[in-house]
Structure 1
Amino acid sequence: MNEKPNIVIVFTDQQRWDTVGCYGNTLDLTPNLDAVAKQGITFKNAFTCQPVCGPARASLQTGRYATATGCFRNHIALPDNEKTIAHYLRSNGYETAYVGKWHLGGTWDKPVPKEKRGGYDDYWIAADLLEFTSHPYEGKLFDKFDNPVEFNKYRVDAVTDFAIEYLKARSNDKPFLLFVSYLEPHHQNDMNRYVAPEGYAERYRNAPVPMDLIDKDGDWKENLPDYYGICKRIDENLGRIIEQLKELDIYDNTILIFTSDHGSHFRTRNSEYKRSCHEASIRIPMIMHVPDIKESVAVEELVSLVDIAPTLLEAAGIYVPRNMHGRSLIPLLRGGDVNWRSEVFVQISESQVGRAIRTNKWKYCIYAPDKDGWNDIGSDIYVEQYLYDLENDPYEQNNLIGNEAYRSVCDALAKALKRQMLLTGEQEPKIIRAKAVSDLI
């Protein structure tokens, strides 16, 4: 057994935190993941730092916010000088493997050249935009030599097959990092819908509806059963990966992380699925199996995707670079008195140029009405947009922004938000107060 732990990251796309049993879901969608949680760590309050696919991935890989990497929106390649967890681990003796959706190469439906693969050099079967090279039951990825690798089965199953293929064929004398990146439960773009495996959506036609969606328009009525069915199939495939790790007798020396890039509000908050500050968009599942932890640990502190990179480096005994914005989660696993952050910071692009801060009680969001969310990375001037009291309004139905009774709350949150922006390398902006109670929710 290697002294350093193996690392497997199972990464889904657009999966809401409340699809998972250990977060309260009652549909039995995730029995395999829930079993991991029973003998591992559940981060009860985990969030993305950017509710858009590419930027979230850049932040996870580098431990840095999207505006720092330059990948502030989709279709921007990760700069060659940005070091990822794969770079650091590989230079310290790890084998690195990547399977599935990459979205950091800037090549769309073409192969990703080696220099754009973020240090995943030993095993590579991936597509930059898997939703452009495939459909739910057929398509292709590319191997490390840029050859197309076709599949004709449910896409989640195919990606899992490639991951298991690596586990069986890997070098046994090195610890490894395996990143398994599913496209699902993301909608299929050119079909404009979520697509569950055959027969799975029917199981959830009468399933309970999340409270934030009820009485909202959007397209959840058409898509929620399929969405749930996809989450079920993902969990079944997670079970296959865990079973393979156990068959190879390496599960007990492997760190397994399951998380997602962002959630989905099913077009109830704006015209698309995730680009907003709301819980449905930014709150994500994050569960870990860690060697030597054999009982359920619930971490209540607020954690972010940017924390994963420094966590893995520390776990592997590697110095965490100072330019990483995230913090290692390992002190939280040990318990005791940890001087942890009291808020998480979120950057929003494409739908708007927005910034948000989320504490245990409050959600506060600002936006730049004169900026373009696709072309502008930030702004010098923002306007208050949302304030939610999450303790009393967990489904964010009552926007309090502009209500003078909460002026002092907004001022304190604005100060904290500015501080976070400065810490990530942004300039301190001017924030214009909302003049009246907004009718936006």
Structure 2
Amino acid sequence: MFGFSRCGCFLLGVLAIAAGAGVRADELDLQPIAGVKPRNVIFILVDDHRYDAMGFLDHPFLKTPELDALAKNGVHMQNAFVTTSLCSPSRASILTGQYMHHHRVVDNNNKAPDGTIFFPQYLQRAGYDTAFIGKWHMGGESDAPRPGFDRWVSFAGQGRYYPPQNPSRWSLNVDGKRVPQQGYITDELTDYAIDWLDERPADKPFFLYLSHKAVHAGFDPAERHRQLYADVEIRTPVTQANTEENYKDKPMWVKNQRNSWHGVDFPYHSSLDVKEYYRQYCRALAGVDDSVGRIMDWLEKKKLDQSTLVMYMGDNGFLFGEHGLIDKRNAYEESMRVPMLLHCPELFPAGKPCPGVVANIDVAATVLQAAGLPTPKHMDGQSFLDLAAGKVELDQWRQGLLYEYYWEYNFPHTPTVFAIRGNQYKFIQYIGVWDTDELYDLKNDPLEQTNLIRDPKYREVVEQMRRQLWQEMRSTDGMAIPLGEKRGHGANLRRRSGSETADFPEYLLRDKDERE
């Protein structure tokens, strides 16, 4: 059972109508769930935070005491994913509860269609105070306030870790007014969040969406963290090896991407040291950990730490050399798997991890349930509050998750990807490229080193998962791919001295006609 959920919309080829865009104002009034008291909710989103970059997961050197405390006193959702590993599409899935083929934010260049409903609009209508503080990113360079929020603090595009020397060239948007950025962005966003929590009326429930710029690429830590981990030796990922064995039965595009903007041979078309890049990533993450501690301290001081639902999540993962790649977009674990931590002692037993497969499309429904509201029919996700509380058995929860990524002109080395990520197996299929599909046994091969797609013993698994993938696409009206405008050649360079292009695999090569 996949547990794939509902959708009440239609996709009509390239003229598809975005689900939720046609919701009338009166339909924002959801019938409250009987007997449920609206709960305060704080949702913390962190950019590019991959699933294993937390101290309590036996990381070799990274220290995250505040995240460790969240896991110790709450619930670690061990199998949390995004349905598209890219900033804007993933964030749109969080806010709409929908797959990318529904909300149609297909890349980082385009905003959500006019009329798209974001779940905080339901909270506002139900009497919540709402605030968005941080990186929005959907809609190109616009930082204008969006529907659903009483308080708005944001910035254009990716934002900046530090303000520029010329402050007239950069500012924050605070409720529609231009306000200079004063200092390190992780700290400053946390300041704004706590100020809002302090100043808001105490007689209404609140929803805070704290959306950090960190730890997006271009990692720049706070001054107090610049020397962290200076003496730590950073290991080369096992799957980074440029060997025939490592690339055996892998898609050709993976080997080819090694020598590209998103590969270790030519990262960002530069001589970037990927290991040092990871060191900076871990340093920048320390500021986020500090921020979490400040939020939790505020809740404890106000005696709200037992009743408030705190959710911590990454918007996508990030590769640092795995498979010879950097960045995200693909369907490998380091790209699509993210941290998800929940804290609310009134709801969850402390320190008990949950292995159920959850995703960004589930966040909206989960927050709405905490507010005592049902899941709107146009959402694809489902609430995992009861799953995290141990009230739902794993065999009654989804057994697999759809993943999708659509080719982008500006980064042409990653093809269109569709995948099903199950509890044991992952099936990956590519569209529009002459290459092989992939199947991995995640229990026995967590690093995704052995592609089983051509192994006869797994033929039934492949056929079943391929059917499941397309069943989910059909059942959610996802059979048409929304197109993003191609505006140029993109980052299509290769290093002359880098790794060579991949050869076609032996099983495709013939000396005679196919029938001979």
* Structure 1 CA distance for aligned equivalents of residues 310 and 233 of structure 2: 30
Residue number in structure 1 paired with 2:109:
75
- The one of 371, 387, 391 equivalent to 2:443 is 391
Distance (Å, rounded) in 2 between the aligned partners of 1:26 and 1:234: 19
Q: 1:127/1:436 Cα in 2 relative to 1: closer, same or farther (>3 Å)?
A: farther
2:154 aligned counterpart, secondary structure: strand
Is the aligned partner of 1:340 residue 2:372?
no
Matched-pair contact (CA < 8 Å) for 2:240–2:323: no
Q: TM-score w.r.t. structure 1 length?
A: 0.85
**Quick check: 1:18 aligned with 2:67?**
no
In the alignment, which residue of structure 1 is the partner of 2:148?
Answer: 119
Which residue among 423, 426, 439 is the counterpart of 2:475? 423
Aligned to 2:419: 356
Summarize deviations over 1:214-257 as a string: whole Å, max 9, x none: 54772521301111111122101110111122223322221100
For residue 327 of structure 1, what is the aligned residue in structure 2?
382
Matched residue, 1:222 = 276
Cα distance in 1, alignment partners of residues 420 and 448 from structure 2: 14
**Are 1:200 and 1:226, in contact at CA under 8 Å, matched by a contact in 2?**
no
- The answer as to whether partners of 2:78 and 2:354 remain within 8 angstroms in 1 is yes
Q: Which residue of 1 aligns with 2:179?
A: 149
Read off the aligned partner of 1:155 and give its amino acid letter.
I
Give the whole-Å Cα distance in 2 for the aligned partners of 1:171 and 1:337. Answer: 36
Higher strand share: 1
User: Greater Rg, structure 1 or structure 2?
Assistant: 2
Deviations 1:175-194 (A, max 9, x none): 11110111111113xxxxx2
- Are 2:235 and 1:209 equivalent residues in the alignment? yes
Tell me how far 1:266 sits from its aligned partner. 2.8
Give yes or no for the alignment of 1:198 onto 2:223: yes
Q: Quote how far apart the aligned CAs of 1:396 are.
A: 1.6
- Secondary structure in 1 aligned to 2:105? coil
Correspondence list, 1:221-240, <5 A: 221-240=275-294
1:163 corresponds, among 193, 217, 220, to 193
1:304 corresponds to 2:359? yes
**Counterpart in the other structure of 1:97:** 131
User: 1:84 and 1:183, CA in 2 relative to 1: closer, same or farther beyond 3 A?
Assistant: same
Match of 2:205 in 1: 175
Deviation sequence 1:197-227 (CA, Å, 0-9, x none) = 3363543242453745654772521301111
> What TM-score do you get using the length of structure 2 for normalisation?
0.74
User: How far apart are the structure 2 equivalents of 1:23 and 1:329?
Assistant: 22
* 2:97 partner amino acid: G
Take 1:238 and 1:212, find their aligned partners in 2: how far apart are those partners? 32
Confirm or deny: 8 A CA contact 1:17 1:23 kept in the other structure.
no
In structure 1, runs of 5+ residues without a counterpart are 189-193, 371-381
Counterpart for residue 60 of structure 1: 94
Cα displacement string for residues 276-334 of structure 1 (whole angstroms, at most 9, x for unaligned residues):
00111011000011241352221111111111111111111112112211111022133
From 332, 335, 343, the equivalent of 1:289 is: 343
Could you tell me which runs of 5 or more consecutive residues in structure 2 were left unpaired when the two chains were aligned. 1-35, 165-169, 243-262, 265-272, 409-413, 482-503, 509-516
Percentage of matched positions with identical amino acids = 30
Structure 2 Cα separation of the partners of residues 248 and 99 of structure 1: 21
Instruction: Check whether the contact 2:241–2:324 (CA below 8 A) recurs between aligned residues.
Output: no
1:40-63 superposed Cα distances (whole Å, 9 cap, x missing partner): 111011111110000000101111
Change (3 A) 1:186 1:7: same
Pairs within 5 Å for 1:3-42: 3-42=37-76
**CA RMSD, aligned part only?**
2.6
- CA shift for structure 1 position 98: 0.5
CA distance in 2: counterparts of 1:281 and 1:248, whole angstroms:
37
Match of 2:214 in 1: 184
Task: Tell me how far apart the structure 2 counterparts of residues 210 and 320 of structure 1 sit (CA, whole Å).
Answer: 44
Give the partner amino acid of 1:203. Answer: L
Distance in 2 separating the partners of 1:291 and 1:303: 20
Closer, same or farther: CA 417–164 of 1 in aligned 2, 3 Å: same
- Give the AA of the match of 2:400: E
> What CA distance in whole angstroms lies between the structure 1 residues aligned with 2:191 and 2:342?
22
**Maintained 8 Å contact 1:422/1:428:** no
Question: Residue deviations 1:121-165, cap 9 Å, x none?
Answer: x1101024133xx244555320112x2222232221111111111
Question: 1:223 & 1:76 partners in 2: Cα distance?
Answer: 28
AA partner of residue 209 (structure 1): R
Q: Provide closer, same or farther for how the CA distance between residues 238 and 334 of structure 1 changes in structure 2, counting only shifts above 3 A.
A: closer
Q: Letter of the aligned partner of 2:148 in structure 1? A: G
DSSP 3-state at the match of 1:318: coil
Q: Which amino acid aligns with 1:88?
A: Y
* Matched residue, 2:245: none
Question: CA distance change for structure 1 residues 270 and 152 in 2, over 3 Å: closer, same or farther?
Answer: farther
| Displacement after TM superposition at 1:403 (Å) | 3.8
Shift of 1:399: 2.6
Number of corresponding residues = 408
Q: Does residue 409 of structure 1 match 2:461?
A: yes
Task: Go from structure 1 to structure 2 and tell me whether the alpha carbon gap of 1:304 and 1:80 turns closer, same or farther (over 3 Å shift).
Answer: same
Secondary structure of 1:341 counterpart: coil
**In 2, Cα distance between the equivalents of 1:300 and 1:151?**
40
CA distance in 2, matches of 1:60, 1:78: 13
| Worse-matched range after superposition: 395-404 or 265-274 | 265-274
Amino acid of the structure 2 residue aligned with 1:236: D
